[in-house]
Structure 1
Amino acid sequence: MLLRKILSFLINPLPVLYLLLLAGTVFLILRKKKTSRWFFLFSALWLLAITTSPFPRFLVSRLETRYPTLLSFPVSDTSRPVNILVLGGGHTHDLRFPPNNQLSANALGRLAEGIRLYRRIPHSRLITSGYAGKEDISQAMVMYRTALLLGVDSSRLSLQEEPRITWQEALSYRQNFDTTATLIIVTDAIHMPRAMMLFRKAGLHPIAAPTNHYVKKGFHRPKPDISLGAENIKMLEAAFHELAGLAWGWVRYGNEENPVP
């Protein structure tokens, strides 16, 4: 876990910039001016790349377009149960606010998509997921309470409060719910490739319902504008995090053709 966090930190865009600047400064102190200039040039080019939209949008789009939005769901076999699993996305248990305002923006977006599908699919069950972290109540419980506030029937609502990471969410679902039911997982579009990989490694066969897309195209703007700003660094950080997670999942949990028992 520590190694994963260190590697995740080192491949983030800002630490890479800091390392390039540090290397340039060291070579400048050592009077290696030519080498130093190269590092400072790479630093400037890297800063331009991570703060301008084309490169971050390209990487994010490659992840977000792997699975299309689940706009419709054919219900041909009404006897087969459908479970909609909303993966945890962060919360703060602040009693000054109602449950919906205790959820992070990501978690609220995921829950909204889960409820949309719940309303469109007869007899489906909504399952919220996520551990407590440093709070005294779990993400799953806060989403559960928010779902109740938004009109979800408590008899069609369940939760799993122990999982800390996506892999544990897959294992917890497999252990506690009917694996013969149709499973739909709801998470951020950028996170969906990793989530699908891990659920398949756990021996499950989910349907993807991505939401919270970073890259969106307006009706009158089929090609997104080129922009400069810190939001591009945020997108790139998210993309690097997911790419590192995909690589780690493949190494740590084996290949998809040989699911972990």
Structure 2
Amino acid sequence: MFFIASKIFEFFFAPAHFFIFLAALGAALLYTRFARWGRRFAALSAAALALMAFGPVGQFLGAPLESRFPRPADDMPAPDGVIVLGGTVDEKLSAELGHTAMIDAAERLTAPIALKRRYPNARIVFTGGTAALRGSPFTEAEGVKRFWRDVGLDAGDILYEDRSRNTFENAIFTRELVQPKPGERWLLVTSAMHMPRSIGIFRKANFPVIAYPVDYRTNGKFSFILPRFAVKAIGVVEFAAHEWMGLVAYRLTGKTDALFPAP
């Protein structure tokens, strides 16, 4: 129920979607006796979308998330394992094309290649089923397995968890799969913006992990740096807004240990 509700809520209230819907409502109201409200809605939507596309909104929303958990030093003690969260593969397109189609955050899949070379004895676990609302016969884990075997990372020694649909299930099912022992050191690889919520969820699931953030979208600082491309800028706003809303929702439903988890 939580998974379905979160998908429906995100569809309607993701910033870009919300203001597009509001603009459409405003345009429709122009032909009614509520034309004044229509103009207001249309103007507000246009201003908001322009600010997201050409202003520093993404930087302001994303920087606090990405700077929350720094990457560990290169000379850290060798970890016992590496957990890689999904969110990079288009399941439907991969099934149709017959090869792995990445949609975003590809560094989640390339970073483990370097980590395996640096820590050859570390176990690697990928966790990700399908995030499709109606499910999918092709899981993200299957696509990642194909990719890692093609690049030579997977020699039959990588574990894949393919039941999870969100980060909460990532933590629960991965803990059940690897059954970590007290004192073991596990790295968690995911996008820097997604890291605070992920750490909070794994802590709540009684699976302590060490943050290894990748896929940065900002420089981690509050600044007025303007984006180069509107589509990319709106994508950063969408990602950051998704994480802030997720932090609130997961905290209210008891799925994280803090509203804004800290190191």
- The question of a shared fold, defined as TM-score above 0.5 by the shorter chain, is answered with yes
Q: How does 1:35-54 map to 2 (within 5 A)?
A: 35-54=37-56
Q: Does 1:14 align with 2:7?
A: no
TM-score, scaled to structure 1: 0.79
Question: Contact 1:194–1:246 at 8 Å: present in 2 too?
Answer: yes
Question: Contact 2:227–2:233 at 8 Å: present in 1 too?
Answer: no
Aligned to 1:214: 217
Aligned to 2:107: 109
Cα distance in 1 for partners of 2:18, 2:136 equals 32
Q: Does 1:130 align with 2:128?
A: yes
TM-score, scaled to structure 2: 0.78
Q: How does 1:225-240 map to 2 (within 5 A)?
A: 225-227=226-228, 229-240=230-241
Greater Cα offset, 45-54 or 17-26 = 17-26
Among 60, 68, 71, which residue is 1:69 paired with?
71
State the shift of 1:125 in Å.
1.0
SS at match of 1:190: helix
Among 176, 179, 189, which residue is 2:192 paired with?
189
State the shift of 1:175 in Å.
1.2
Aligned to 1:256: 257
State the shift of 1:56 in Å.
1.6
Aligned to 1:85: 83
Q: Does 1:55 align with 2:94?
A: no
SS at match of 2:199: helix
Structure 2 CA distance for partners of 1:152 and 1:47, relative to 1, 3 Å: closer
- Counterpart code for 1:152: L
Cα distance in 1 for partners of 2:117, 2:103 equals 21
- Counterpart code for 2:192: A
Aligned to 2:261: none
SS at match of 2:164: coil
Structure 2 CA distance for partners of 1:154 and 1:107, relative to 1, 3 Å: farther
SS at match of 2:81: strand
Question: Contact 1:88–1:107 at 8 Å: present in 2 too?
Answer: no
Structure 2 CA distance for partners of 1:104 and 1:73, relative to 1, 3 Å: farther
State the shift of 1:95 in Å.
5.9
State the shift of 1:149 in Å.
3.3
State the shift of 1:236 in Å.
1.4
Count of aligned positions: 244
Question: Contact 2:59–2:224 at 8 Å: present in 1 too?
Answer: no
Identity of aligned residues (%): 26
SS at match of 1:215: coil
Structure 1 residue runs of 5 or longer lacking an equivalent are none
Question: Contact 1:64–1:192 at 8 Å: present in 2 too?
Answer: yes
- What per-residue deviation string (whole Å, max 9, x for no partner) do you get for residues 62-115 of structure 1? 22222223452522xx6xx61101112224135654xxxx04143642121122
Cα RMSD (Å): 2.9
Cα distance in 2 for partners of 1:70, 1:224 equals 27
Structure 2 CA distance for partners of 1:32 and 1:103, relative to 1, 3 Å: closer
- Counterpart code for 2:41: F
Structure 2 residue runs of 5 or longer lacking an equivalent are 259-263
Cα distance in 2 for partners of 1:3, 1:135 equals 18
Question: Contact 2:111–2:214 at 8 Å: present in 1 too?
Answer: yes
SS at match of 1:127: strand
Cα distance in 2 for partners of 1:228, 1:179 equals 43
